[in-house]
Chain A
Amino acid sequence: MNGANLDPDDLWSRYLAGEALSDDEDGWLAAAVQADPALLDELVDDDRVNGLLATFGRTAVEAKPFDVRVIERLALERDSARFASKVDARLRAVRLHKDRGMPTRRWWVSAVALGLATATVALVLFRRPTREISDGIEDAVATEVRGDVRVARAGAVGTALVPGQVLRPGERIETAADGRVTWRYLGASRVTLSGASVGWVEASVGKHHAIRIESGHVDAELAPQPAGRTISFETPHARATVVGTRLGLWVNNIETRLEVFQGRVLFENLWDDSIGHVHAGGSKVARAVPRALSVDEPGRASPVASGTTPTPESSDIPLLAFDFENGTTPGGFTTGQVVACPPGGPSGLCILGGLFPPSPMDNVVRTEAQEPDGELFRYTDHLVLSFDYWLGPGKNRLSVQVWNRDKNQNYGMTFFDPVCGGWAHAVVRLRDGRGYRDARQVVADGDRITKLSIVGSRLVGEALYIDNLKLDVVSPAALPSASTVRPPQDPLK
């Protein structure tokens, strides 16, 4: 198959029309949307408009009106015992309310008094002393769920968590910004995860129970634990072991902060191996220490001495710098190959967007962290990427994308008016990027970036050359006022 003949619009419109694409075409289109998340969004937008139009159309030409069909189905469903009982219960409640009017204040006082009396009797009769907490492993049961809270096994699609659901070890619990879940744990203990948080209940080992918090905020009210039993909260930076207390933990990508309101907590800083008790009213912070980046590689124009740590403060040392003049494709470049520059270039050698014809990766230059758990750099708002580029003469566009390992999504921006068919210089503030999966989510200081991609046209055969690629941390005063891919005097800008 010749990739040069493929056009994503043609493939997409055929796909949407229900035509079966060949394996090659399917693979090509899939690679195109994987390489360019903005394209995937564009296609899903088109899918949505197509679906809306089709639904409008169907609504307009129905033989039997929809409402008539719903009423007919309602009549059928009423024969279903479950549906009928639900409706009947609702109707009874509404009619009771309607017939009798609102309860009086006296009615409410009587009801509350009766409830309190019943609760008191129940407590006296059924109260379980603390020492009777079972030593067996008890389930963590969600008792209160508000907003968007999801639970998922590793690698599976999450489902909405509902009150009464048992949280199994290894299940990942995610609360959205408006989400909040409280689960009962080990009898009288309660744990609450809230507000853009991620955590899970670990499998219990012997009498040790662990709750792992990846990010966000957790509150806990834990009953005094019997001798030999512990509950601990583990974060990427610390472990807080509970003896019986009320505590708060705040976790982000940089640090974990513990505040103890009641009781005491054994707190271990996993980054400096310090350990100690934190008593009621006290707090403790464990902070990640930035790790040294391995930057001394062939092909780097400005190698930084191995062992130094480019941090946001070290503005005199670029985090990345490549001029490709030694003729070797640098090790971290998974897509792209060093070749002679097109005429008029800033130097003799450039990197040409990856050569994997006929895939759309033709036009992608990408560098990645070389270790499985490594990072290319850590994000700050003061990062500026600059490079010279040459794009093919077609109607192209240019995207800069970074893969955020901590948010598990691509961030970036697309420029729809790059210079085509000639050399130009780009200056891109990474802070201008937005999440492709969730545009409202922005990169946070300290997020681990593991891939950096520059994506040219999605038209096959329109080459992308890059030279003098550099990523700098600049001072606030030196931060450009905007990202740009054209000279300032360019009339199209």
Chain B
Amino acid sequence: MRDGAGVAAPKDLVALNEHSAVDEADMVRRTALGDTGAFGQLVRAHQGRVRAYIGSYVRSPDVVDDLAQEVFLTAYASVGSFRGESAFSTWLLGIARHRVLGHLRTHLRKGRLVDRLIDGRRLDRVEDDAAHLDERERAIAALKRCVEILPPGSSVLVTEHYFQANTLADIGRRTQKGESAVRMTLLRIRRALRDCIERRLASSGIS
């Protein structure tokens, strides 16, 4: 089992690639002409945001992956309609939002009451995103920053669970804590991250 000292910091693992607006405009133009190399660069540059956006509403990693691929295929097929009136990333998130809406509406769970309530609220949120995609994008960037400044103990726990796919039981054995204690600690860390995101958004301090 890994110990804390050997765990890579989350900041090394969270990739939201940045590049210049000039490069991007050129890549979009070349993609419109059928250059799949340029398209690949656009995918690399934006896949983090698109997948994070979808992942914030869809739990299954495989479905997130599939929907994100569809978003980029749709973008490739219709990049000619991108007029540059918004950022390219916002345009992509618009496509992603439609995909997520379609998925959630098709797969609204009919079983447990809690599932239905959570799914219903989640659907409301995606619908509300229509006018706030730039804010969603900033929130994703803010989370990246907030993860980077987590205290060491929390950082190790987040890395082990989310980035190295260790189970709660594995982490419990390493830390000699019960599984439920690990679970509750992660809940508290997520709440701290959420507060951090809100603070950053409120002060528009995506530094």
Contacts and interface: CB of A to CB of B under 8 A. Distances in A.
A58 B51 CA distance: 10
Given A12-B187, A56-B14, A70-B43, A90 B163 contact: no
Contacts of A40: 117-118, 121
Contact of A61 (B44, B77, B114, B165): B165
A10 B57 CA distance: 21
B116 to A, nearest CB: 8
Contacts of A43: 118
Q: Which of B32, B33, B65, B121 has the most CB of A within 10 A?
A: B121
Given A9-B187, A46-B194, A77-B73, A57 B163 contact: yes
A74 B73 contact: yes
Contacts, number: 184
Interface residues of A, number: 62
B1 interface: no
A interface majority secondary structure = helix
B163 A41 contact: no
B187 A30 contact: no
B14 A33 contact: no
A131 interface: no
Contacts of A66: 43-44, 47, 51, 65, 68-69
A95 B61 contact: no
A81 interface: no
B124 A69 contact: no
A73 interface: yes
A12 to B, nearest CB: 7
B63 to A, nearest CB: 11
Given A21-B114, A57-B165, A61-B165, A90 B121 contact: no
A27 B112 CA distance: 8
Interface stretch (B19-27, B84-92, B178-186, B199-207): B178-186
Nearest to B8: A60
The 6 closest A-B pairs by CB, nearest first: A55-B55, A60-B13, A30-B113, A57-B162, A67-B43, A57-B163
11 contacts: A14-B183, A29-B114, A43-B118, A52-B143, A55-B56, A55-B64, A59-B52, A66-B51, A70-B47, A86-B77, A157-B105
Interface of A: 9-10, 12-15, 17, 21, 26-27, 29-30, 33-34, 40-41, 43-61, 65-71, 73-74, 77, 83, 86-87, 90-91, 93-95, 98, 148, 157, 159-160, 176, 178, 437-438
Interface of B: 10, 13-15, 32-34, 36, 39-40, 43-44, 47-48, 51-52, 54-59, 61, 64-65, 68-69, 72-73, 76-80, 101, 105, 108, 112-114, 117-118, 121-125, 127-128, 130-131, 140, 143-144, 147, 158, 162-165, 168, 180, 183-184, 186-187, 190-191, 193-194, 197
